[in-house]
Amino acid sequence: MNHTRGPLCTIDVGERTVETEDVDDVLASYLGGRAVGTKLAYDRVPVDVDPLGPENRLYLATGPLQHSTMSFTGRMSATAVSPLTDGLLSSNAGGFLSRNFTATGYGALEVTGESDELLIVHVTDEGVEFEEVPDLEEAETAEICTYIEDEHDLGAEHTVTIGPAGENGVRFASIMTSESRAFGRGGLGAVLGAKNVKAITFDGDSTHDVEIPPLQMDVHREAATADHIMKRQGTTSVTEFANHVEALPTRYFSELSFEGAADIGGDAVEEKKYQKGTCSACAFACKLPTRDEETGLETEGPEYETTMAFGSNAGVDDVVDVMRSNELCDQLGMDTISCGDVVSAYLASEDEFGNVELIHETIEQIAYREGVGDTLAEGVDRFHEELGVENWTVKGLEFPAHDGRALHGQGLSFATSNRGADHMYAEFYPYEYPLVGEEEAFDKNGFEGKPPKVVEHENLNAIKDSAVLCKFSRDFVTPDRLEKLLEADYDALLEIGGEVVAMERHFNNQRGMDRGDDSLPYDLPGFEDALEAYYDERGWNEDGTVPESALEAAD
């Protein structure tokens, strides 16, 4: 089986120590990326750890496909115990970081401890250096990237950084890379912030040899020549379709369609797009560098989830206003989905939907924990009672779009996801809109045949997050191609994905999570039966916990 190479580099930022350790057995068993991060965390992080304490460990890892020149491989994974969900959580980001990470020669990075000074950690194939940077306290993303380029001649593609939100412990703070790409979900930026690490840079010339089959060039060629709407509109291409089938959350989830969808959807975003945007080695180029000529505002995006969170869910129908919210989150270092939902919840409590000035003011207050922002920085699950709004989260994670009240299988997958309300954990929505062929599609209503498919796709996406492979490769990297690229049987890969999901679940079980956390803030007929069928398919207990027998392979 193809897997990433190199030792684990453990950095204790409190003690300023660096250790390397052979983890070939872990890499050989778990490919790389999310699976390796999960296995290392499962074995090395105390189950009672404080997510914002020094004993929490943050893992960064790439996978074997980052050693290819294939499209859809410009990504990497981050893993830690989340300060938002209180569970073990992985997030991944695109951009141009992954190949600079592999160039250091390390297979994975582990960050632990807590520094008494604000740090930049420089990781190269010649060693690790610590730089104290007190003058960069609360610097925004662009400022820290400019500093690193000026002082160290390293571009943003060599860097992960946090903004003011991460330093101030905002529970949905992101880790930013390539300036505008985010490890967004779950607040891992706050984990780095608690360790007083402002940024980590990666550079070197020690990439290990991982032989990827020639099939990679077929995938790359097809990605380059495909006529696909995502090349023009990114994920916003689905906005008006989701609105039509009433799966577009609106005005803090009180409605399922938005009268202004066309004004913030794919065509509106495409009008603002001024050049192609992509990730490392990818010819699909679905990213969205956008510019508003009238105001001079430039950003990357918004993607569909952001147009929901700061558009329809906030009652905003001007794409430039959504672009401004997107750019503020990127510069301040916050997940646009969680932040948008948090702001929308606040708007609901104040009856201020559509108040753009208040929205942008509130985003900044959250990042600096000023005024009401100090409350909102805790996330909806922790403040909803105080504000008198409904708790639109699963396991503490705010909802994306693709509403489960319309797409019932996606609703089930929101509930079962170990990350919480995350649309990419099982990525079931394409089968219910549908965005796939008729032979693969499901009726969006009901649960017939869906629990086994949710299990399969949770397992498959764990493998993609470990390879590391973009989810939008689904039309190009079919199961038979995945087998060839990773040199492993598809069913065997799904078994590894199942182990990853089980390790996440068991770790979270030990932190008190069970079936009661696999719940939704709305009722779906047949949901409890579907949940039991999901547990049966996985061989888990009826209370949503993992039996020891299901963890034998992981041990």
Q: What are the structural domains, with CATH classification, of the chain? A: 8-203 (3.60.9.10), 226-360 (1.10.569.10), 408-551 (1.10.599.10)
- Predicted pLDDT of residue 555: 64
Contact 279, 70 (CB under 8 A): no
Q: Give the pLDDT confidence score for residue 554 in this predicted structure.
A: 62
Q: Which helix (H) or strand (E) holds 300?
A: strand 297-300
Distance CA 483, CA 223 (A): 19
Torsion of CA 24, 26, 27, 30, to 10 degrees: 160
DSSP notation for 481-513: HHHHHHTS-HHHHHHHHHHHHHHHHHHHHHTT-
**Residue 313 and residue 341 in contact, taking contact as beta carbons nearer than 8 Å:** yes
What pLDDT does residue 551 have?
81
Distance CA 243, CA 204 (A): 47
Distance of CA 38 to the CA centre of its chain: 15
Tens digit of each residue's pLDDT (9 = 90 or more) over 103-123: 999 999 999 999 999 999 999
Q: Tell me the sheet residues that pair with 108.
A: 8, 61
**What backbone phi and psi angles, to 5 degrees, belong to 300?**
-120, 110
Spatial contact of 337 and 185, defined as CB atoms under 8 Å apart? yes
What are the residues whose beta carbons fall under 8 Å from the beta carbon of 143, sequence distance 6 or more? 136
- Write down the pTM of the prediction: 0.97
Name the burial class of residue 167, with classes exposed (0-12), middle (13-18) and buried (19+) by CB atoms within 10 angstroms of its CB. Answer: buried
Per DSSP, the three-state class of 362 is helix
- Residue 202 phi, psi (nearest 5): -135, 135
CA distance linking residue 155 with residue 392, whole number of Å: 38
Name the one residue in this structure whose structure tokens are 């199942």.
Answer: 498
Q: 255, 406 in Cβ contact below 8 A?
A: no
Cis peptide before 468 (omega within 30 of 0): yes
Q: Which residues of the chain register pLDDT less than 70?
A: 553-555
C-alpha to C-alpha distance for 101 and 4, rounded to whole angstroms? 12
Contact 520, 531 (CB under 8 A): no
- Eight-class DSSP state of 479: H
**Amino acid letter at 356?**
V
Q: How many CB atoms lie within 10 A of CB 284?
A: 24
Give CA torsion, residues 477, 498, 422, 394, to 10 deg.
170
Q: How far is CA 326 from CA 199, 251, 323, 335, in A?
A: 21, 18, 5, 9
Residue 444 is predicted with a pLDDT of 97
Q: Which of 157, 27, 1, 4 minimizes the C-alpha distance to 468?
A: 4
* Predicted pLDDT of residue 549: 80
pLDDT at position 474 is 92
End-to-end alpha-carbon separation of the chain, Å?
A: 19
